[in-house]
Each structure stands twice: as C-alpha cells, then as structure tokens.
Amino acid sequence: MPLYRRLAEHYQGAIQAGTLVAGDRMPSVRDLMRQHQVSLSTALQTLRHMEEGGWLEARPRSGYFVRQPRRSAIRPVQEPKSLIAIDPAQYVGIHEKVSKYIAQRQASAPAIDLSGMTCAPELYAVDTLKQAAMRALRDRPELLTSAMPHNGNHTFRQAVARRALNAGMRIDADEVVVTHGCIEALNLALRAVAGPGDTIAVESPTYFGLLQALENLGMKALEIPTSPHTGISSEALELAVRTYGNIKAVVVVPNLQNPLGCIMPDASKDKLVRLCEELRLPLIEDDAYTELADGNAPPSSLKSRDRSGNVIYCASLNKVLAPGMRLGWMNGGRWHERVKMLKFTHTRANEEWTQVTAADFIASPGYDRHLRRLRQLLKEQRERMAESIAAYFPEGTRLNVPNGGVGMWVELPAQICSQQLFELALAEGVGVSPGAIFSNSNRYGHFLRICCGHPFTRELDQALRQLGRIGHMLAAG
Amino acid sequence: MPLYRRLAEHYQGAIQAGTLVAGDRMPSVRDLMRQHQVSLSTALQTLRHMEEGGWLEARPRSGYFVRQPRRSAIRPVQEPKSLIAIDPAQYVGIHEKVSKYIAQRQASAPAIDLSGMTCAPELYAVDTLKQAAMRALRDRPELLTSAMPHNGNHTFRQAVARRALNAGMRIDADEVVVTHGCIEALNLALRAVAGPGDTIAVESPTYFGLLQALENLGMKALEIPTSPHTGISSEALELAVRTYGNIKAVVVVPNLQNPLGCIMPDASKDKLVRLCEELRLPLIEDDAYTELADGNAPPSSLKSRDRSGNVIYCASLNKVLAPGMRLGWMNGGRWHERVKMLKFTHTRANEEWTQVTAADFIASPGYDRHLRRLRQLLKEQRERMAESIAAYFPEGTRLNVPNGGVGMWVELPAQICSQQLFELALAEGVGVSPGAIFSNSNRYGHFLRICCGHPFTRELDQALRQLGRIGHMLAAG
C-alpha cells in the first residue's frame, strides 16, 4: 500500500473511532509533512485521497475539515416487530419468484451488476493462484487422469482443517468432506437430517438459494424473526419449536448473515448452540463470509462451541479464495457418516487438481496477506457505497453497513416496491436483488440487497445515483 | 502403432472374423516378409506378439498355428428366466450393502483393484491434457477468480454438442447443462421427473450407484428383466408398467450396459423409445461408455431417436476423456428448464477451467486419435483377461466378453457366493465387485463384475489365477 494511503488509513481510523469528529480541522499539509516525515506530494495526496473518499471537505482558505458522513444521517434497518414466526400455512412458493428473478437478470446482463454476492475478479490473487495451478500441473499431471480419493484430497483437507483449528474448531482432516461450494454442503446437510415434508427453521430474511434448495428437497422453511443487528433470536426459535413441532433442523449464518450482514454477538451464539443441544435440534452452520469480517480477528463460529456433534458446519472458499474454483467443505457432526455417503451418491469426489492448487495457496503466508488486502478493499468499497446511498436514496431509507462481507441490506421507504425498482434499474443496466426473494412469506417487499464487491468507480457511483433517482420516483408514486 | 502390431492386428481381425480358425497354420516368417514387405525382425515380432496374446501357439519344427481360444469353451451368461419384474415389496435396502462394500474396499486398498470401472491413468492422454490446461491458465487466468456462467462454459458446451451432432443427436450448445460427472446428471434427471415415494424402472442387474441414488432420493427401483446380450426387454417393461402403475421413469444404459456390457440392437432401441413415448414414460439415458465400443463407429443413442423430448440424455466424459476431471453433461428433453433450475440449486455451475481444458482437447484431431488408441488398448486387455478367466476359473463359469468398455460380467457356478469370494480375494490384495450390489432384490449372488481397464501384466494374470483358485475352493464347498 503506498505511503499516502497508509497515512489516509491512519486518519480514517481515527474518524471511525470517534477520535476525530465532524467539523474537526485536519492537520495542514505542512503539519503532515513535519509530523509524519513525508514529502509535500505525499501530504497532498493524502488529503486529496481522503477528500475523494468523502472523509474530508476543503474549505477555501481554511484547509481540510472532517466531514459529517452523509450516512450518519441514515438510520439502521428496523428490528423485527414480533418474536412469533409466521405460520408456514401462509407461505408462498419461492421457486417461481427466484427463477423469474434469475432469468430477468441473466437476460439483461446489466453493465453494473450489484445483484450477486461475488467480488470482482481483480480483488483476488490471480497470479499467485495461476502459479500454484501451474505447479500442480507440472508436479502431478496424473491428477488429471486418475480416479479421485473419496471425500477430497488429503493435503487440501489438512489445509482447511488447520485453519479451522486456528479458528477454535477441532475438525481433523479425515473429518472433512470437500464439496462443490457451500450450496452442495447445505443440500447434503439438509438431506442428512431431514426428509421431504419436514420443516426447517431459517433466519428471516434468508438467502434465496437456501429457500430454493429447501423447496426442491420438498422441505418447508419456517422463517424465524431475526434481528438485523444481532441475528436469529433464540427466544423466537424456541417458541417456534414449541408451537410447530416437526422442525427437523435450523440453518444459521452467524457471521455476516446474507442478506442482513450482521454478526451474532458471542453471547447469542452461546445461547443458540446450547438451546439446539437441549432441543436436540440439528444446527446447520453456513459459513461463507467469516474471513471477510473487518479487522484481523474473524468472529467465532457456532461449531467452535459444539460439544455433542450437534452442529453441521458448511464452509465455502468461494468468496474468500476465488469464485472460479467453487470449493466448499463440511463436517457433518454426528451425521458425518451419512453426509459422506450422500456426497458419494450425489456427485462423487471433487477434482483433485483444484484442491491441490488451493491447498498450496492456503498453506502459504501469501494467503493471509491476500485476506488482509481483500478485507481492506471491501471495507473501502462498502464505505464509499454507503456514502453514495446516503446521498442519493430517498428520505426514510435505512441502511445496515456491516462490519465486513460483500453485501448491504437497504430498507427503502415502505411505499416503494423493490421488485419494481429492480425491474426499472435493470432496464437502465443496473442489477440489484429485490428483498422479496429473501423470504417466502411475502415480506421484505421494500428492501434491496446491494453487492459491494466491486471497486468504487465513477460508473458505480453513477449507478447508485440512478437507483436513487428511481427510488425517488417510486416514492413519489 | 508400430508396424508389427498393425500386422498382428490384421491377422487377429481375421481370426475374430473366422477367416482363420483354430488349427490353421499361420504364414511363416519368410511368408510374412515376402507378402507384407517387412523385415525379419518385424515378422518375428508379429508372431511373438500374437503368441503372447494367446492367439497363436508355436509347435516345434512346424511353425505357428491359430490357437483354440480358451474362452471359446466358456459359455455366455444366461438369459433371464422370466419377463416378470420382481414385486418391489420383496426389495431389500441397498444402502447398507453398498456402503459396506465400499468401506471394505477402501479399508483394504487392494494392490490389484478390479472392482471399479475406471481405466488406468496411463491409458489417457495426460501430456496433451496438461498442455491444454497450461494453455488455459496462461490465456485466461481470470477463469480462476471469476464467477461462472450458469449451465457451463460455452466453448465446452459447443464442443460436446458438436460431437453429439455427429452421433445423430441434435442438441444445441445452449441446451447442454454441464454436470459433475454422470451421477449428478442422473440425480438431476430423476428429481426432474419424479419425487419421493415414486417408482423408477431400472435394468436388472444395474449399476449400484443408481440404486443408491434412488434410495437416497426416497424413490423405489423396479428391476426389469434384462438380457445380458440385447439389453432391457421392452415387453417386460410394458408388462411392469401395466402391472404396477406409479412408474415415473425408466433409466437405461443402452450401450455397454453396466455391469452386463451388452449393446442393445438398433431394433430394440427403436422399440424402447417408441414404447416410452406411447406410455408417456420419461426415458433417462445413461451414456458413459458409448465411445469405448470396439471399432470406429460407436453404437447409436436412444436420444438420437427422440422426437418428443421424452428422452433425458446424461453423458459422462469420465471414462473417455479423463477420470480426474469429472465432467458430465446432460440434456433434459422436455424437462430441460427444470433440470437447469435443479442444477443451480444443487451445486451451481461447474468450474470453467476444467471445461476450457477439455474443450481444447475434444475439438482437436488428437481426441479421436486418443479414443482409437484407448479402444484398442481396452480390447487387448479385455481379450487377455478373458483368456485368463477361461483358463483359471472353475468349470461352469459363464462369461460375457463385451464389444467394448471397461467391465466384464462373470457368472460363477451357482453354489459360489461372490460376496465370500470378494472378501477372500480382498484379503489377498485383489479387488472385484460382487454381483449382489447390482440389485436390491437379492439376485446375482454368484456373479462378479471385473474391471478390464488396466494393462494386462504378469501381476494381473496372477490376480485372476488367485480369483480362480478361490472360486475352485468355494465351488468345492
């Protein structure tokens, strides 16, 4: 990172921590040069970079001042109004809605696509991965033509098991099953503990891919009230289990929930894991984003609290390592043997070549460097986008700016139909995800999920301005 | 192919066609030199190669004579005794049986493993594939870090669509869904047309992977009597549909059926496709082996006869291109939209890098050269193994030597329990597949499936001798 950016970081951190507040005068160019022993050009670049990022404003003949972040005027998304889960009898099928959404998005191929949860390719270590891949091909070309070991390549399983160990999870390499992304892991986890006709508790809102998978497996999703700040409510879950019976499992994204972006506090995680143990309710943990949390101490997992094998842990390297490699892995807890068998009958083993390439990178010091850089870039992009949303979106918009990850959950004024906004934006070449696909109980019709995985550019800013304009138009009715 | 082998081929073909028969005198070294304009050493090598292959025997001072193939004394596997499908009420669960079999095989890791249906890595074009993979990495490294297009990489889909076209199937590139091997395609096909509790007609015997997949999907397999020479009986299928109702689909391997190795005659294929159309019974075609049929005109598919979208076509490149790449593809016929959606919710899209590598090779002239070589090697291995089986196995053994593919189906004398043989052989370091796992109606207890995907070596011959010895022991009781 160049010197001016490191210096900008230093002051931005102080603003975020509240050491410097809106209206405070920034050190002058001369001060910066003296205090930090930097050149005139570095000092100037630092101030301009912070101004461009919306952190400072220049006042003629007075210097730079810390700016009131526009998004400080924007309120957070509201808490759920009740702890009572909606009666599944009121549910609508999600398939058609999601299929229509995906088809529309694919057909339009928007120029600026903020609908997914994937980061731009340039955020990943493409050269390092390419070198690792070349090495794998040179050293072990026979991987291309040999039958694969069941459950995954040993070196890869060892590499992820070691990282899990550092995150407080004791999962040995031979207790890891490698999967095609997290979605296969979730499918296997669900099939391991439940069957057609069974009900599965999920967060509300939740990832549409999970709702779709459930519907395809003939299972019913019961949406549990979930705080946009502290995650799924254990009280609401307990109430639902006592009300509805026949709930066979609960699926939870404890860290950087999709779409909410929230991280459950440790106490809530403890409570949830203990509750599920007491109820003998299998707890399926979906972990795709933890390593993208801000800072260098990722939040803890539910699995690290598991004493009885009641937690099925499903992880993805898709967002973290590389979206083009589609690697996931899982540990089935006390259903692990059944998970292994289901994986075998489902897709057999994963290709070894990809795993060897990934293991090479994951076991190297470069991997943590990559993660630090990725987190930092995502944070910058997120902050910049939040500022633009605050500036352009209609009065009454609420926003959660999460402490990590790839998405933001935006609550629009209640009269705005986000499906309409989605369609109008698509016609202008901008893709977003409408809130309604994150629930099958007709909720979240005025919410949007916006991806912040792309570098903040003038075009991206322009796209957010367009979204804001459409929002204003729809708000006016 | 060296000259002596081409010359040997020439004469072996004549023996197979019956132009030369057992006891005929082969041309002498001098004759060969004159007639074919070859050197002394080539003529000698030709005769020695044919002798080693079991085609000729040397008689002192008289020259070489066409040998009575030992396997001509061995009779083919018997036809099913009845056209009536066994009542599914008599079925046993297959899971436990198959899981136990897989676990035993894995735990023993036999030195000579003839249990799978995978060819030895050296039978594939590892260098060509490695070069193609390197090229893909150099030209398009961003494939590693980019989100993938739904349903597969376009170039790959085009490459397989073109080959399908040459095989008489009109499937456009955008009607191809790329899958993780054929097993995922089968899972998707089954889920597209049927649900838990439904009955699916299958061949008897059939691939244990299919039985396992069905059981995991909560579906029931109805085993239809199948000729070891002409494949599934349309009469038996029709009878079963009229008897049982609630049959939602039929899964058929028309070419080089697993485990029988038979190829359905064209007339039987016509009849089956028309019958399923009449009955509105979805016909799922499992095509993993067609390109491994002897000769250079692969047998035709069921899909090429499909006029109404009633055939779901599932293909694998696993045995043909490379076992380490796990590529399959499918076309869902009139259920194609549903197949696409199920694939998305199941495992999302396949990695592009593997597909780009495969497409590079498949579209090159080297691919057909590779296939010709692979077919030829498999044929040689199969013939040599059949000779050894004929020599070593107990009296009363029956054998189908198929016209292509990777497996052989061996019928042992009825008093031999092949599960016992499997276990005893495993203890001696030899793996085979016991017949009982190819049915969930307690049939085929005295059958074996033996893989002929490995180069014929002294060790392999020795392993077959061991199997024969154990067979003799069990036959004696």
> Distance (Å) from the C-alpha of residue A275 to the closest C-alpha of chain B?
30
State both tokens at B215.
């059981």
A-chain residues within 8 Å CB-CB of B209?
A: 345
Where is mean pLDDT largest: A43-47, A101-105, B72-76, B385-389? A43-47
User: Using the beta-carbon criterion (under 8 Å), do B322 and A145 form an inter-chain contact?
Assistant: yes
Nearest chain A residue (CA) to B139: A130
Q: State in Å, rounded, how far the first CA of chain A is from the last one.
A: 47
Q: Which residue among B142, B324, B350 sits closest to A144, beta carbon to beta carbon?
A: B324
User: Using the beta-carbon criterion (under 8 Å), do B345 and A142 form an inter-chain contact?
Assistant: no
Find out whether A422 and A438 touch, Cβ atoms under 8 Å: no
Comparing CA positions, the residue from A253, A251, A227, A266 lying closest to residue A316 is A253
Query: Does residue A99 carry a pLDDT above 80?
Result: yes
B-chain residues within 8 Å CB-CB of A133?
A: 137, 144, 353
- What is residue B55's predicted lDDT score, i.e. its pLDDT? 87
Query: Does residue B80 carry a pLDDT above 80?
Result: yes
Q: Looking at residue B23, what DSSP letter applies?
A: T
- What is residue B230's predicted lDDT score, i.e. its pLDDT? 95
Strands (E), B346-454: 398-400, 407-411, 430-431, 433-434, 447-451
State both tokens at B17.
């066609």
| Strand, helix or coil for residue A203 | strand
The Cα–Cα gap between B454 and B460 comes to 8
Position A119 confidence tier, pLDDT thresholds 50, 70, 90: very high
User: Using the beta-carbon criterion (under 8 Å), do B324 and A137 form an inter-chain contact?
Assistant: no
Task: Please list the alpha-helical segments (H only) found in B287-348.
Answer: 336-347
> Distance (Å) from the C-alpha of residue A185 to the closest C-alpha of chain B?
9
Chain B contact present for A365, CB below 8 A: no
User: Using the beta-carbon criterion (under 8 Å), do A145 and B133 form an inter-chain contact?
Assistant: no
B-chain residues within 8 Å CB-CB of A325?
A: 144, 351
State both tokens at B263.
């190829």
Chain B contact present for A348, CB below 8 A: yes
- What is residue A21's predicted lDDT score, i.e. its pLDDT? 84
B-chain residues within 8 Å CB-CB of A346?
A: 183-184, 187, 213, 216, 346
A-chain residues within 8 Å CB-CB of B183?
A: 345-348
Mean pLDDT value of segment B7-20: 84
DSSP codes of every residue in A249-264: EEEE--SS-TTT----
User: Using the beta-carbon criterion (under 8 Å), do A325 and B195 form an inter-chain contact?
Assistant: no
State both tokens at B415.
């008093």
pLDDT digits (tens, 9 = 90+) for B122-150: 999 999 999 999 999 999 999 999 999 99
User: Using the beta-carbon criterion (under 8 Å), do B143 and A349 form an inter-chain contact?
Assistant: no
With pLDDT > 70 as the criterion, what percentage of chain A qualifies?
100
Query: Does residue A91 carry a pLDDT above 80?
Result: no
pLDDT digits (tens, 9 = 90+) for A214-239: 999 999 999 999 999 999 999 999 99
Chain A contact present for B191, CB below 8 A: yes
> Distance (Å) from the C-alpha of residue B215 to the closest C-alpha of chain A?
10
Instruction: Compute the mean pLDDT over every residue in chain A, rounded to the nearest whole number.
Output: 93
Query: Does residue A125 carry a pLDDT above 90?
Result: yes
Q: How far is residue A30 from each of residues A6, A46, B22, measured CA to CA in Å?
A: 18, 12, 103
Q: Looking at residue A79, what DSSP letter applies?
A: P
pLDDT digits (tens, 9 = 90+) for B28-56: 999 999 999 999 999 999 999 999 878 89
Domains of chain B, start order: 3-69 (1.10.10.10), 93-122+368-476 (3.90.1150.10), 126-365 (3.40.640.10)
Mean pLDDT value of segment A298-323: 97
B-chain residues within 8 Å CB-CB of A142?
A: 121, 126, 324
Contacts of B160 (CB under 8 A, 6+ apart): B176, B315, B317, B329, B362
Helices (H) and strands (E) in chain A, counts: 15, 16
B-chain residues within 8 Å CB-CB of A190?
A: none
Query: Does residue B263 carry a pLDDT above 80?
Result: yes
B-chain residues within 8 Å CB-CB of A125?
A: 145
**Cα of B228 vs its chain's centroid, Å:** 14
Query: Does residue A69 carry a pLDDT above 80?
Result: no
> Distance (Å) from the C-alpha of residue A267 to the closest C-alpha of chain B?
33
Q: Which residue has the higher pLDDT, B17 or A75?
A: A75
With pLDDT > 70 as the criterion, what percentage of chain B qualifies?
100
What is the ipTM score, two decimals?
Answer: 0.89
Position B246 confidence tier, pLDDT thresholds 50, 70, 90: confident
The Cα–Cα gap between A270 and A264 comes to 10
- What is residue B308's predicted lDDT score, i.e. its pLDDT? 96
Which helix H or strand E contains B466, and what residues bound it?
Answer: helix B458-476
Q: How far is residue B210 from each of residues A52, B152, B214, B350, measured CA to CA in Å?
A: 60, 24, 6, 22
b/e sequence B362-395, b meaning 16+ C-beta within 10 Å: bbeebbeebbeebbebbbbbbbbbbbbbbbbbbe
Q: Which residue has the higher pLDDT, B305 or B477?
A: B305
pLDDT digits (tens, 9 = 90+) for A229-283: 999 999 999 999 999 888 999 999 999 999 999 999 999 999 999 999 999 999 9
| CB proximity under 8 Å: A 203-242 to B | 209, 212-213, 216, 218
Position A54 confidence tier, pLDDT thresholds 50, 70, 90: confident
Position A52 confidence tier, pLDDT thresholds 50, 70, 90: confident
Query: Does residue A90 carry a pLDDT above 80?
Result: no
The Cα–Cα gap between A212 and A273 comes to 25
- What is residue B380's predicted lDDT score, i.e. its pLDDT? 87
Chain A contact present for B141, CB below 8 A: yes
Find out whether B256 and B294 touch, Cβ atoms under 8 Å: no
Q: Looking at residue A83, what DSSP letter applies?
A: S
User: Using the beta-carbon criterion (under 8 Å), do A324 and B143 form an inter-chain contact?
Assistant: yes
- What is residue B262's predicted lDDT score, i.e. its pLDDT? 96
Lowest mean pLDDT, pick from A91-100, B197-206, B314-323, B330-339: A91-100
B-chain residues within 8 Å CB-CB of A180?
A: 180, 347-348, 350
Nearest chain B residue (CA) to A191: B216
State both tokens at B66.
């066409």
The Cα–Cα gap between B163 and B160 comes to 5
- What is residue A300's predicted lDDT score, i.e. its pLDDT? 96
Which helix H or strand E contains A279, and what residues bound it?
Answer: helix A266-279
| CB proximity under 8 Å: A 23-42 to B | none
Mean pLDDT value of segment A172-188: 97
The Cα–Cα gap between A26 and A53 comes to 15
User: Using the beta-carbon criterion (under 8 Å), do B323 and A130 form an inter-chain contact?
Assistant: no
Query: Does residue B403 carry a pLDDT above 80?
Result: yes
Cα four-point dihedral sign B182, B187, B193, B197:
positive
- What is residue B477's predicted lDDT score, i.e. its pLDDT? 80
Find out whether A224 and A260 touch, Cβ atoms under 8 Å: no
Position B240 confidence tier, pLDDT thresholds 50, 70, 90: very high
Q: Which residue among A102, A213, A353 sits closest to B324, beta carbon to beta carbon?
A: A353
Mean pLDDT value of segment A435-443: 91
Contacts of A16 (CB under 8 A, 6+ apart): none
- What is residue A473's predicted lDDT score, i.e. its pLDDT? 96
Position A296 confidence tier, pLDDT thresholds 50, 70, 90: confident
Q: At what angle do helices B336-347 and B181-193 cross, to 10 degrees?
A: 120
Residue count of chain B, please give it: 477
State both tokens at B92.
């046993």
User: Using the beta-carbon criterion (under 8 Å), do A344 and B102 form an inter-chain contact?
Assistant: yes
User: Using the beta-carbon criterion (under 8 Å), do A144 and B99 form an inter-chain contact?
Assistant: no
Nearest chain B residue (CA) to A107: B150
Nearest chain A residue (CA) to B181: A347
Find out whether A361 and A374 touch, Cβ atoms under 8 Å: no
Task: Among A127, A137, A145, pick the best mutation site for testing chain B contact (most B Cβ within 10 A).
Answer: A145
Query: Does residue A295 carry a pLDDT above 80?
Result: yes
State both tokens at B194.
């049927």
Query: Does residue B89 carry a pLDDT above 80?
Result: no
pLDDT digits (tens, 9 = 90+) for A185-214: 999 999 999 999 999 999 999 999 999 999
Residues A335, A339, A341, CA angle at the centre, nearest 5°?
A: 120
> Distance (Å) from the C-alpha of residue A281 to the closest C-alpha of chain B?
22
> Distance (Å) from the C-alpha of residue B135 to the closest C-alpha of chain A?
10
> Distance (Å) from the C-alpha of residue B393 to the closest C-alpha of chain A?
29
- What is residue B248's predicted lDDT score, i.e. its pLDDT? 97
Comparing CA positions, the residue from B456, B432, B320 lying closest to residue B379 is B456
DSSP codes of every residue in A145-177: TSPPPTTS-HHHHHHHHHHHHHTT----GGG-E
Mean pLDDT value of segment B377-402: 91
pLDDT digits (tens, 9 = 90+) for B102-120: 899 989 999 999 999 999 9
User: Using the beta-carbon criterion (under 8 Å), do A147 and B118 form an inter-chain contact?
Assistant: yes
> Distance (Å) from the C-alpha of residue A468 to the closest C-alpha of chain B?
27
Q: Which residue has the higher pLDDT, B290 or B73?
A: B290
Comparing CA positions, the residue from A390, A405, A237 lying closest to residue A319 is A405
For tokens 């054998």, name the residue.
B399
Chain B contact present for A342, CB below 8 A: yes
> Distance (Å) from the C-alpha of residue A118 to the closest C-alpha of chain B?
7
Position B302 confidence tier, pLDDT thresholds 50, 70, 90: very high
Find out whether A209 and A188 touch, Cβ atoms under 8 Å: no
Position A445 confidence tier, pLDDT thresholds 50, 70, 90: very high
Size of interface A-B (CB pairs under 8 A): 176
Chain B contact present for A100, CB below 8 A: no
Position B94 confidence tier, pLDDT thresholds 50, 70, 90: confident
The Cα–Cα gap between A241 and A85 comes to 10
Preceding amide of A205 cis, omega within 30: yes
B-chain residues within 8 Å CB-CB of A193?
A: none
Query: Does residue B73 carry a pLDDT above 80?
Result: no
pLDDT digits (tens, 9 = 90+) for B273-286: 999 999 999 999 99
Bridge partners of residue B200, in order along the sequence: B221, B249
Bridge partners of residue A316, in order along the sequence: A328
